[in-house]
Amino acid sequence: MWWHDRFSFPIDYFVYSCRSSSPPSLTLLPPCFDGGHINPQLDKLCTPYRRQRQRTMLPEDMGILCHGDQGEFTVAELLFSKPYEIELCLLHNPPPAGSSMEWKVKKVQIPPDTKISTYSWMTDAVFPIGTCLCWVDNYQGMLAIDVLTDSNSNPDHQQCLRCIPLPKKALKSQRLYKDAGEPDPLRSVCVTDTGIIKLVCILTECPTFTIKAWTLDDIHEGRWTMDLSNTMGAEEFFRLLGTGHSCLPQVQPSFPLVSLVDPDVICFLLKDKDRGLFWMIYVNMKYKKLLSSALYISEQEEEDGYPPKRGRRNNFFGHCFIRSKFSSYLSENAITSRDLSEKMQKTKEARVTQKS
């Protein structure tokens, strides 16, 4: 799901669908004008269009839930409108019987006794679980909303909101990186294929760090359990790197991501600032084992080989990773592409080893 330009009219939102039973498709979502800002002075400059009246929905506040067997999906945006009230903007595809595909804006009340502060809330992730979409603040908790229940039979149905605070030990730390729209390098809340929700924290305790993880046992009661087997200190982490690969930098890891298929496996990013290299490593936290490591291959290296023949066009800052299972299966030459990638990895690692 993406949009092309925030400052022009109309703002286009697309949903890309890929299924094994049919060719891929691109669905253009209709614009939403409910809640759009109105500025008569700017409207005069935009005649005959009035771009200020279209609701602007930011990608970090939006989520998508796929359901059914025919490519059905629901898109939702969450916006804090008042201290104890949020606006939920919903679009169902296909729409309920007898209606057209259009956005519906609903008011959802937040319980006054909730332990989540709406004033300091920052959405770090949105993911589906069951019939719910969960908006996550890595330093406060989750807001889970059922976006499907009774949506077909009663469009005016009041969505149920559940506030799930983080475990008490995780609430003791404050957010160090507050750039809106940028991922947090020290924490993540992830969901696996089987619906297991995990919180991973890299707790910085100068001059060292500790990696800790929790599992959400009950989404209805908001009960977390610390995964003691997934805890790892800096000394043990560096010892793990030394046994697996001599070229891996002995630096604090960042951007933890839980594997989609194994909740005990976590992916980390290692940034070698001195040599300008980025490593991705997979670690089995339960068995304290380094499973794999890979150097980041830039766009220029993919096109020209390593070392690249042309200068760098796009800078990579080490945080734009998205967990996915389907990307390698979309190409007809997926096997060839994978073989080429592995060869490039070996070539680049060999050069790095020679220089170290």
Q: Are 263 and 189 in contact (CB under 8 A)?
A: no
Q: Are 50 and 66 in contact (CB under 8 A)?
A: no
Top pLDDT among 173 and 260 is at 260
Facing residues of 284 across strands?
A: 265, 289
Facing residues of 265 across strands?
A: 284
CB atoms within 10 A of CB 222: 18
- State residue 177's pLDDT score: 74
Top pLDDT among 270 and 39 is at 270
Top pLDDT among 316 and 143 is at 143
**Cα 188 to Cα 199: distance, rounded to the nearest angstrom:** 6
Amino acid at 194: T
- State residue 181's pLDDT score: 63
Contacts of 77 (CB under 8 A, 6+ apart): 57, 58, 61, 62, 88, 89
CB atoms within 10 A of CB 139: 22
Top pLDDT among 208 and 341 is at 208
For the chain, what is the total number of helices (H) and then of strands (E)? 5, 20
Query: Mean pLDDT for the chain?
Result: 81
Run of H or E including 252: none
**Cα 296 to Cα 314: distance, rounded to the nearest angstrom:** 13
Facing residues of 144 across strands?
A: 134, 162
**Cα 105 to Cα 103: distance, rounded to the nearest angstrom:** 7
Top pLDDT among 273 and 289 is at 289
Residue 196 burial (10 A CB sphere; 0-12, 13-18, 19+): middle
| Coil, strand or helix at 65 | strand
Model confidence pLDDT, tens digit, residues 143-172: 999 998 755 555 555 678 899 999 999 988
Run of H or E including 159: none
Looking at residues 134-150, what average pLDDT do you find?
91
Judge whether residue 251 has pLDDT over 50.
yes
